[in-house]
Structure 1
Amino acid sequence: MDLNRQRTQELVNGCMQNNRASQEALYKLFYSDMLRVCHSYLADPALAKEAFNTGFLKVFQSIKNFDIDKGELGGWIRKIMVFSAIDLCRKELRFNNTNTIAADTDDEFIPPRILEKLYFDEILKQIRTLPAAAQMVFNLSVLDDLSHKEIGEQLSISEGTSRWHLAEAKKRLRELLDPGNQQTKERRSNGL
Structure 2
Amino acid sequence: MNLSKKQAEKLVKDCINNNRTAQEALYKLFHAEMLRVCYNYLPDKELAKEAFNTGFLKVFQSIKNFDNEKGGLGGWIRKIMIYTAIDLCRKELKFNVKNLDEQDSDDYFISPSVLEKLYFEDILKNIRTLPFATQTVFNLSVLDGFTHKEIGEQLNISEGTSRWHLAEAKRKLRELLEALATNNNLPKERSEKAK
Corresponding position: 1:146 with 2:166: no
The equivalent of 1:49 in structure 2 is: 49
Deviations 1:105-133 (A, max 9, x none): 35210111222233332211110000001
Structure 2 stretches of 5 or more lacking a match?
Answer: 183-195
Which TM-score applies when normalising by structure 2? 0.89
The separation in 2 between residues aligned to 1:102 and 1:126, in whole angstroms, is 24
Matched, 1:131 2:159: no
Instruction: Give the 5 Å matches for 1:45-84.
Output: 45-84=45-84
The answer to whether the 8 Å contact 2:37/2:78 transfers is yes
Report the AA paired with residue 38 of structure 1. Answer: C
Relative to structure 2, which stretch is displaced further, 164-173 or 6-15?
6-15
1:160 matched residue in structure 2? 160
Paired AA for residue 49 in structure 1: K
5+ residue gaps, structure 1: 183-192
CA contact (8 A) 2:104 2:163 kept: no
Distance 1:5 1:104, change over 3 A: closer
Are the equivalent residues in 2 in contact too, given 1:101–1:163 (CA < 8 A)? no
Q: Indicate how the Cα distance of structure 1 residues 8 and 109 shifts in structure 2: closer, same or farther if over 3 A, else same.
A: same
Within 1, Cα distance between the matches of 2:24 and 2:86? 25
Where does residue 109 of structure 2 map in the other structure? 109
Residue correspondences, number:
182
CA separation in 2, counterparts of 1:61 and 1:117? Answer: 45
Task: Give the match for residue 19 of structure 2.
Answer: 19
Identical residues among aligned pairs (%): 69
CA contact (8 A) 1:148 1:162 kept: yes
CA contact (8 A) 2:37 2:82 kept: yes
Quote the Cα distance in structure 2 between the aligned partners of 1:61 and 1:119.
Answer: 39
User: Aligned partners of 1:179, 1:140: CA distance in 2, in Å?
Assistant: 25
TM-score (norm 1): 0.90
What is the DSSP-based 3-state SS (H/G/I as helix, E as strand, rest coil) of the residue aligned with 1:117?
coil
